[in-house]
Structure 1
Amino acid sequence: MTVTRHTMTDEQRKSVALEYLKAFDRGGKTSGGAPLLDLFADDAQVYFPKWGLADGKAEIGRMFGDVGGTLRSITHHYADFNWIFSGTDTVVCEGTSHGEHRDGGAWRAGLPDWGAGRFCDVFEIRDWLIQRCFIYLDPDYGGGDAGRYPWLRE
């Protein structure tokens, strides 16, 4: 089998990453109604803090189910995203969100300033598919872990 590489512009890679983020706000569906996993290559990797590294679509689906099961809703703030392009495949999105944890705790980036809602996702996108997505954020959406940090108790 021949390896194919379709040349993509930065804006095209950005559109794939944006579709991925918007799919979370739609409960795991793309704008065309397809499952979120359709945006990934079969052998893609995704990293999420406190979950680890998921290899391949089946494991990525399990990870998103585990993480998504802790949330009632999430909304990303698209107008405030900071996009960084590096090399031929790498797209970085720094942004904010708000939502509600399954235990009823709402969060919004900046309220409080140390709380959940800020994120940075590093993507590798080729051939219109996400090959790699490493997610960097505080997964304590409900703020329940604050007691372990002395500077937050003050």
Structure 2
Amino acid sequence: MKDQEKIAIANQYFKLADQGSPEILDLFHQDVELYFPKFGFGFGKDAFLEMVKGFEGSLESILHDYDHLNFMPSGDFLIVEGTSKGKLDGKTWEGGKTPGGRFCNVFKFRDNLIISVHVYLDPDYTGEDEDRFRWGKSRNW
């Protein structure tokens, strides 16, 4: 795949994820491998649905900052670094302004589909685990 094709699929992934659209599954290879912090590894499209289900009833909104995503292609891989903002259980976060909201995804592609996506972020989006922050809350996020 060409780099621009991978980037287009990743952009679509973030937009469909933000919309909560089931069409996101169409971007995945049937044998997709998923990693998300505290969820661990999952395999297949059903694992993605299981991971998303963990946010049911608590994730009110999410929006990735599409205009400022950093794309780093390498062979079959595409690394995407960026920020998101949203609302979880009535509390908001915004990457760059709060501890949560910065992320890095590592995509791998096969047959023009996502065969693997590993998500790296702090799943404590709204900083509820602040008591265990080692550097206090005065840091620049």
TM superposition score normalised by structure 1:
0.84
Equivalent residue for 1:97, pick from 84, 103, 119: 84
Q: Read off the aligned partner of 1:107 and give its amino acid letter.
A: W
Against the structure 1 CA distance between its residues 68 and 152, is the aligned structure 2 distance closer, same or farther, given a 3 Å change threshold? Answer: farther
Aligned residues: 138
Against the structure 1 CA distance between its residues 26 and 86, is the aligned structure 2 distance closer, same or farther, given a 3 Å change threshold? Answer: same
Aligned match of 2:17: 24
Displacement of 1:52 after TM fit?
Answer: 0.4
Greater radius of gyration (CA): 1
Runs of 4 or more off by more than 6 Å in structure 1? none
Aligned match of 1:3: none
Aligned match of 1:109: 95
Q: 2:71–2:81: 8 Å Cα contact kept in structure 1?
A: yes
Q: Report sequence identity in percent.
A: 43
Distance in 2 between residues matched to 1:45 and 1:69, nearest whole Å: 25
Consecutive unaligned residues in structure 1, runs of 5 or more: 1-7, 30-34
TM superposition score normalised by structure 2:
0.91
Aligned match of 2:39: 51
| 1:86-128: CA deviation from partner (whole Å, max 9, x where unpaired) | 12x1001000110000x1110001223xx11100000001222
Matched, 1:140 2:124: yes
